[in-house]
């Protein structure tokens, strides 16, 4: 299967399929048709079939897909059949919350250590992982087969940290710092901006209110 030329839009939908299929599998659902999956996920059945056809269709035969097979195959495409060791950079509020969220483990993502510049945090534990001085990050990565660095630090420090990480054998950065990072091609980056999601939500509130004010013209469109 050649997954190099598949559009980002299709790849972007895979985690959602994976989550739903995981829930169905846990509920003991053995087979599911694209129509049923479509109802569950509010995506058209033809979109689902088109998406799956990029990966050879996952062998839908007779009545629907085998839920567990489909779940495992999508997991493989997402690289979730491998374990990923991670480190945290920035052991503050956001970073600590991520480390404490145990569900990442269920997906194969394991926090191994945290790094910070605040001396008061050195040696402290967050959900069983230790906070070390930032200076020791390169040695730690080399000695511990770390795949992913999770950056939960302010923008000001992120570029410098990325420079250090560029020299280390990591595979990816999960970047929460609000800045674009310059990295070698071998290091993959996923930028996360929770506020973008909140802005999309704000847009949806606005759209809904405008649409309902057209239907019921006396109702004010926006709260001030
Ligand atoms: P925080 O102040 O609680 O924690 C930041 C931690 O990073 C502190 O422990 C600090 O000592 C450490 N730190 C600062 N510079 C560092 C460096 N160069 N190397 C290593 N550690 C360093 O802040 P919080 O709430 O955890 O947020 C962290 C950052 O994440 C903020 O700058 C914020 O802008 C960003 N953020 C991003 C979000 C997103 O969706 N992308 C959402 C929320 C926060």
pLDDT digits (tens, 9 = 90+) for 76-132: 999 999 999 999 999 999 999 999 998 899 889 999 999 999 999 999 999 999 999
Q: Are 53 and 29 in contact (CB under 8 A)?
A: no
Indicate whether residue 87 lines ligand 1 (CB < 6 A). Answer: no
Instruction: Give the length of the chain.
Output: 224
Query: Is residue 4 pLDDT above 80, yes or no?
Result: no
Task: Give the DSSP per-residue string, 135-191.
Answer: GGHHHHHHHHT--EEEE-S-HHHHHHHHHHHHTS---EEEE-SSS-----TTSEEEE
Q: What is the pLDDT of residue 9?
A: 87
Indicate whether residue 154 lines ligand 1 (CB < 6 A). Answer: yes
Query: Is residue 188 pLDDT above 60, yes or no?
Result: yes
Query: Where are the chain's structural domains?
Result: 3-77, 84-196
What end-to-end distance do the CA atoms of the chain give, in Å? 53
Q: What kind of fold does domain 84-196 have according to CATH?
A: Rossmann fold (3.40.50)
Q: How far is the CA of 166 from the centre of ligand 1 (A)?
A: 20
Q: Each residue of 12-29: pLDDT tens digit?
A: 899 999 999 999 999 999
Query: Is residue 6 pLDDT above 70, yes or no?
Result: yes
For residue 91, give the ligand 1 atom closest to its CA. 9
Q: What is the pLDDT of residue 99?
A: 97
Q: Residue 53: pLDDT band by 50, 70, 90 thresholds?
A: confident
Q: Residue 56: pLDDT band by 50, 70, 90 thresholds?
A: confident
Indicate whether residue 75 lines ligand 1 (CB < 6 A). Answer: no
User: Which residue matches tokens 């169905």?
Assistant: 24
Q: Are 99 and 88 in contact (CB under 8 A)?
A: yes
Indicate whether residue 133 lines ligand 1 (CB < 6 A). Answer: no
Q: Regarding beta strands 172-175 and 129-133, do their DSSP bridges make them parallel or antiparallel, or are they unpaired?
A: unpaired
Q: What is the pLDDT of residue 221?
A: 52
Q: Residue 64: pLDDT band by 50, 70, 90 thresholds?
A: confident
Q: How far is the CA of 89 from the centre of ligand 1 (A)?
A: 8
The continuous run of DSSP H or E covering 77 comes out as helix 67-77
For residue 96, give the ligand 1 atom closest to its CA. 26
For residue 196, give the ligand 1 atom closest to its CA. 40
Q: What is the pLDDT of residue 103?
A: 87
CATH number belonging to the domain at 3-77, selected among 3.30.420.40, 3.40.50.300, 1.10.10.10, 3.40.50.800 = 1.10.10.10
Do the two domains 3-77 and 84-196 of this chain adopt the same fold? no
Q: Residue 107 in 3-state DSSP?
A: coil
């Amino acid at each position: 299967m050649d997954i190099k030329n598949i559009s980002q839009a299709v790849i972007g939908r895979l985690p959602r399929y994976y989550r739903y299929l995981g829930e169905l599998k846990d509920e003991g659902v053995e087979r599911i048709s694209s129509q049923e999956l479509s109802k569950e996920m509010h995506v058209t059945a033809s979109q689902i079939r088109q998406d799956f056809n990029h990966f050879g269709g996952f062998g839908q035969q007779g009545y629907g897909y085998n839920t567990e097979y489909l779940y495992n195959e999508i997991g493989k495409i997402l690289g979730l059949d491998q374990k990923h060791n991670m480190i945290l950079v920035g052991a503050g509020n956001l970073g600590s919350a991520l480390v404490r969220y145990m569900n990442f483990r269920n997906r194969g993502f394991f926090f191994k250590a945290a790094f910070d510049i605040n001396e008061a945090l050195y040696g402290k534990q967050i959900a069983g992982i230790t906070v070390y001085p930032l200076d020791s990050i390169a040695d730690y990565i080399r000695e511990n087969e770390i795949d992913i660095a999770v950056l939960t630090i302010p923008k000001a420090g992120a570029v410098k940290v990325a420079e250090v990480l560029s020299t280390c054998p990591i595979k990816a950065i999960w970047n929460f710092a609000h800045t674009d990072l310059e990295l070698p091609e071998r290091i993959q980056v996923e930028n996360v901006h929770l506020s973008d999601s909140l802005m999309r939500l704000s847009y949806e509130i606005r759209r809904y209110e405008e649409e309902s004010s057209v239907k019921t013209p006396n109702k004010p469109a926006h709260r001030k």
